[in-house]
Structure 1
Amino acid sequence: MASKMIFINLPVTDLERSKSFYETLGWKVNQDFTDENAACIVIDDNICAMLLTKSFFTTFSTRPIGDTTATVNGLYTLALGSAQEVDTLVDAALSAGGTEEVNADKRAQEAQVGMHGRTFLDPDGHQWEPFFMAYPGAN
């Protein structure tokens, strides 16, 4: 059986700016699925973000595109291998023009269960939440 993959489709205002942002995070552009309307960003072997120009994005749904700069439309949570990986990814996002959203109550709750997480917004306001949690019995 073939492994499953997830593709997160994100509307973007400026495709080149968004490609550059995600490349700064260390993620790669798959040129086979990239053109003037879309870019495939490879996050992991089975996870990709499809950056779609807003005009192209509207061809996939009759519903209007949400304003991600004013409202939350989704939380893209990514489990990483260490707290350092979380910090490195968020620091890269900030250096590339992203912004960090700090929720002290959420961080306190995460710390109680041994989790380290941070939140960043990409230039279009899409909310990413990388985290690390040491599971009992994990090496």
Structure 2
Amino acid sequence: MHNMIFVNLPVADVARSRAFFTELGYSVNEQFSDERAVSLQLGDNIVAMLLERDYFGSFHPAQTADAASTKECIICLDADSRDSVDDLFDRAIAAGASAGDTEDHGFMYGRSYNDLDGHAWQIMWMDPATVAAGAEQTAAQA
């Protein structure tokens, strides 16, 4: 049904957020970035638009939440392996993020951090064999 996702997040300092996320290895689409916004490429079809708070607020009349005190969402992204989860988490903490929780269910592993503005990011990995078995079980039950 959908081909892409664009997550829009308010940030206090666009340049600081740009530096933080590029430190984590994400690229920036300069075509859609300026002093008020940075277009962060999270994957082939996943984009986070980090928008200066006042600019973000101009898109909707509701009060903009402060992610440091109110969780508006948790952004969950997959990783290729448990080691990839740990690597990205460690880079985020080194770049100034604060640690969230860790979940280890054996077949599923995730760690979360709060970015410089308090937005919650969860990086997770699921064992491909378990995912495939789950898909087969779901198909058999249908």
Return the TM-score normalized by structure 1. Answer: 0.88
2:63 alignment partner, SS class: coil
1:115 to 108, 111, 122: 108
| Structure with higher RCO (Cα < 8 A, 6+ apart) | 1
> How much does 1:36 deviate?
1.1
Name the % identity: 38
Cα deviation per residue 1:49-89 (whole Å; 9 max; x = unaligned)? 10100110011100001111112110100111101111111
**Partner residue of 1:38?**
37
Cα deviation per residue 1:27-63 (whole Å; 9 max; x = unaligned)? 0011100011111000111001101001100111000
**Partner residue of 1:136?**
129
In 1, Cα distance between equivalents of 2:4 and 2:83 = 26
**Partner residue of 2:88?**
89
Larger radius of gyration: 2
1:124 lines up with 2:123 in the alignment: no
Runs of 4+ in 1 over 2 A off after TM superposition: 135-138
1:118 alignment partner, SS class: strand
Tell me which amino acid in the other structure corresponds to 2:113: F
Cα deviation per residue 1:79-132 (whole Å; 9 max; x = unaligned)? 1110111111111111111011126xxx2xx41x51110000000000000100
**Partner residue of 2:75?**
76
> How do residues 6-45 of structure 1 correspond to structure 2 at under 5 angstroms?
6-45=5-44
In 2, Cα distance between equivalents of 1:28 and 1:136 = 30
**Size of the alignment, in residue pairs?**
131
Tell me which amino acid in the other structure corresponds to 1:115: M
1:55 alignment partner, SS class: helix
What's the C-alpha RMSD, in Å, of the aligned pairs?
1.7
